[in-house]
Amino acid sequence: MLSRKRHNPFLLVLAGVLTLLNISPLLWIGFSAFKTRLEIFTQVIVPRALNLNNFSVILQNNLPFLVNTLVVSVVATLGILMVSIPASFALSAFAFKRKRNLEMWILSTRMMPPIAAALPFFFALKAINLFDTLAGLILVYIGVNLPFAIWLLTSFMRQIPSETVEAARVDGCTWWQVLRSIAFPMASSGVATVAVFSAIFSWNELLLPLFLTNRGAKTFTVVLTEFQGQTNTVWEQMSAGALIQIIPIVVMTFFVQRYIVSGLTMGAIK
């Protein structure tokens, strides 16, 4: 008979405490989003009623900025995938001089903090008349997130057996056919992982929209910074806005979590 492994009660309690500490800010945001202003200042922990007025006010005044965030995130993610998939396949399938140096250079561009490039991006978009436009913001997001996407997806492409690629080439497949019919399906978990990470980065980005937008292309993350004034902070509306910002990413991650897990563990066990 197999003996059951006994769990250490101390470790269980420690894990519970650490979990509670990690989710406590989210719980505070969730409760505060449904509170009235009086409940915020009287420090009521759980709201007495399900108050949806905060969400109504947020969406009524800022729905176009939420749409901006959605458009920028979706288009930027698609643009990142369109470039990173063939680029990572080329880096994994072809042998050429100084390939390793090229890979390190691509990765090194991601190590630069975005604040260091914010001012150059500002002047560049001003020069080409793309300041405060969705197109300009999308181009910047693609450029900032592309190095990480190529680096991560290249590691998945390298897991594809070279014998499979060589057999397809012998059968007469072009490189684009190999990419479309073999490499892409076999690296689908990696593509899903890159897509999710790119969407999260684009959806949650705050610094670049602060520098590169004014009113027309302002994103919802910028809206969340506007609830704090010099004399007053509208905590209940800020919490409602934060909950709106969080929910789409959580829902998306829930539906694609099996691809993320399989993608992140690919190659860990051989």
C-alpha dist (Å) from residue 150 to 71, 88, 134, 198: 22, 5, 23, 11
Domain count along the chain? 2
Residue 253 covered by a domain: yes
Shared domain check, 67 and 47: no
Shared domain check, 65 and 38: no
Residue 80 covered by a domain: yes
Predicted local confidence at residue 102, as pLDDT: 85
- For the chain, the first-to-last Cα distance in angstroms comes to 31
Shared domain check, 114 and 194: yes
H or E element at residue 118: helix 114-127
Shared domain check, 222 and 174: yes
Return d(Cα 250, Cα 257) in angstroms, integer: 10
Residue 162 covered by a domain: yes
Low-confidence residues of the chain, pLDDT below 70? 1-7, 230, 259-270
Shared domain check, 246 and 140: yes
Return d(Cα 194, Cα 54) in angstroms, integer: 34
Predicted local confidence at residue 266, as pLDDT: 54
Shared domain check, 68 and 44: no
Residue 129 covered by a domain: yes
H or E element at residue 232: none
Predicted local confidence at residue 122, as pLDDT: 93
State the CB neighbour count (10 A cutoff) for residue 63: 11
Shared domain check, 163 and 78: yes
Return d(Cα 54, Cα 237) in angstroms, integer: 5
Predicted local confidence at residue 264, as pLDDT: 60
Coil vs helix vs strand at 94: coil
Contacts of residue 179, defined as CB under 8 A and 6 or more positions apart, other chains included, come to 85, 86, 89
Domain that holds residue 14: 6-51
Shared domain check, 216 and 152: yes
pTM of the model: 0.85
Return d(Cα 176, Cα 174) in angstroms, integer: 5
Residue 56 covered by a domain: no
